[in-house]
């Protein structure tokens, strides 16, 4: 089997009091929906998170590596890695693997002193963003983000905007669907929102 599990839409938004990452839960194999319950947003450390769009196996492999590196950094330095440092590390790993690449596009986010969000492509190119999207439905998500993002949004406003962007992609992109994973990171740490909390915001 040469095709890989893929397809998704991921969204990241920086707010004045934290950062939001959201993603759909569908995984496709060619034109077939293989799963509607795939996690694409991952805890890396207490205030660090990654979202991936692309090959599920490659995303999971990178997540395992970054978690190990974050743990080693804590042991050596005595504190948590910064968001920028995690983005740089991810960039270095991807650039070093560019001839046998990780097939994915990654959003690195967190709150280490202040909220931060970085987009990293599979060749290691890094862009710092206030909001961004990646994956097969990114055009539809960007149409919402471009129109409605505001500087100094509250976390609640950012959460609602992220869900709206994912919902727009779900309506128009056949590779996006299956519900939403929603994660916020503030100075207090990582939180994954429950299905009940998400449903309440969508209604």
Structure tokens at 130: 């206030």
Residue with tokens 């056949």: 174
What are the phi and psi torsion angles at 121 (to 5°)? -85, 175
3-state secondary structure of 6: strand
| Residue 140 near residue 171 (C-beta atoms within 8 A) | yes
**8, 132, 170, 176: which one is catalytic?**
8
Structure tokens at 140: 């539809």
Structure tokens at 96: 């070093």
Q: Which helix (H) or strand (E) holds 142?
A: helix 138-148
Residue 93: name the closest of 75, 72, 66 by CA. Answer: 66
8 carries an active-site annotation: yes
User: Would you please indicate which residues are annotated as catalytic (active-site) residues?
Assistant: 8
């Amino acid at each position: 089997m040469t095709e890989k599990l893929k397809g998704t839409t991921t969204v990241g938004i920086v707010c004045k009091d934290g950062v939001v990452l959201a993603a759909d839960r569908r995984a496709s194999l060619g034109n077939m929906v293989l799963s509607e319950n795939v996690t694409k947003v991952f805890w890396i450390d207490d205030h660090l998170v990654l979202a991936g769009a692309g090959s599920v196996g490659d995303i999971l492999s990178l997540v395992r590596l970054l978690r190990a590196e974050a743990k080693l950094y804590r042991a050596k330095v005595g504190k948590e890695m910064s968001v920028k440092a995690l983005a740089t590390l991810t960039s270095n790993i991807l650039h070093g693997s560019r001839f046998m690449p990780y097939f994915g596009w990654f959003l690195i986010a967190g709150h280490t002193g202040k909220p931060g969000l970085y987009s990293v492509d599979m060749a290691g190119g890094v862009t710092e963003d206030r909001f961004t999207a990646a994956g097969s439905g990114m055009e539809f998500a960007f149409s919402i983000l471009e129109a409605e993002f505001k500087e100094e949004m509250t976390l609640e406003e950012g959460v609602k905007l992220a869900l709206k962007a994912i919902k727009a992609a779900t309506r128009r992109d056949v590779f996006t669907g299956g519900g939403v994973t929603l994660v916020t990171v503030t100075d207090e740490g990582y939180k994954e929102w429950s299905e009940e909390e998400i449903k309440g915001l969508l209604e």
